[in-house]
């Protein structure tokens, strides 16, 4: 059997859980937090990993995996280099989408909304919770830019580790957080026969409207 035949025949029935509107909270971020806690409790690998999609003003998309670092004040928080490709796209087009997928729980969450920078104080506060090596890594990597080889990174890391050996690593002004403020969140729970549960929350006039979507 070749790869295409295998992919066409590959099947899995989903029957772990269900989504019932009668038991869902009015605020989708409460449900997202609950699902995250259950993914963490199930000891899944990288339960906070999300695919973050951005786009240029011309509509050219790009996507990459990120780690969620908080749900605060109605927004999803993540951190990155402000000179990276994703950051440049967010500056030009401050809208994004994110997807969480927990295969073992047969669940997916899609988030869409506007993006804004986190304040420098909050970004610096998180920066200093990171391991020292990760703090150095933020300074070492000119994210998304072409570099000659891996040795470039390793030598730069060695130099900075030596330079700051006896002092705190300064907060890099080109690095920090973003807030993804959702306008729509969709929860997907796998069900048998591909009749999956899809519940969409959509922000309308400042209130969350709950709708069921066909699978």
List, by residue number, the catalytic residues: 194
Q: Is the separation of the CB atoms in 76 and 31 below 8 Å?
A: no
N- to C-terminal Cα distance for the chain? 30
Q: Which two tokens stand for residue 188?
A: 């997907």
DSSP labels for 11-44?
-----S----GGG--SSHHHHHHHHHHHHHHTT-
Q: Is the separation of the CB atoms in 32 and 185 below 8 Å?
A: yes
Q: State the Cα–Cα distance between residues 174 and 113, nearest whole angstrom.
A: 23
Neighbours of 95 (CB within 10 A): 15
Q: Is the separation of the CB atoms in 163 and 79 below 8 Å?
A: no
Angle, in degrees to the nearest 10, between helices 150-163 and 132-140? 120
């Amino acid at each position: 059997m070749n790869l295409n035949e295998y992919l066409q025949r590959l099947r899995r029935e989903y029957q772990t859980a269900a989504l019932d509107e009668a038991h869902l909270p009015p605020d989708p971020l409460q449900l997202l937090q609950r699902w995250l806690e259950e993914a963490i409790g199930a000891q899944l690998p990288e339960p906070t990993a999300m695919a973050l999609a951005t786009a240029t003003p011309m509509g050219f998309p790009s996507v990459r995996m990120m780690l969620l670092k908080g749900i605060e004040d109605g927004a999803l928080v993540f951190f990155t280099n402000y000179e990276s490709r994703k950051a440049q796209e967010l500056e030009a087009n401050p809208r994004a989408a994110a997807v969480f997928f927990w295969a073992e729980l047969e669940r997916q969450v899609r988030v869409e909304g506007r993006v804004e920078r986190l304040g420098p104080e909050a970004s610096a506060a998180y920066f200093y919770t990171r391991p020292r090596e990760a703090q150095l890594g933020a300074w070492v990597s000119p994210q998304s830019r072409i570099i000659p080889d891996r040795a470039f990174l390793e030598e730069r890391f060695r130099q900075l580790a030596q330079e700051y050996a006896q002092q705190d690593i300064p907060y890099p002004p080109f690095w920090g957080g973003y807030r993804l403020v959702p306008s729509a969140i969709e929860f997907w729970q796998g069900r048998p026969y591909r009749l999956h549960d899809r519940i969409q929350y959509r922000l309308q006039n400042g209130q969350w409207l709950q709708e069921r979507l066909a699978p």
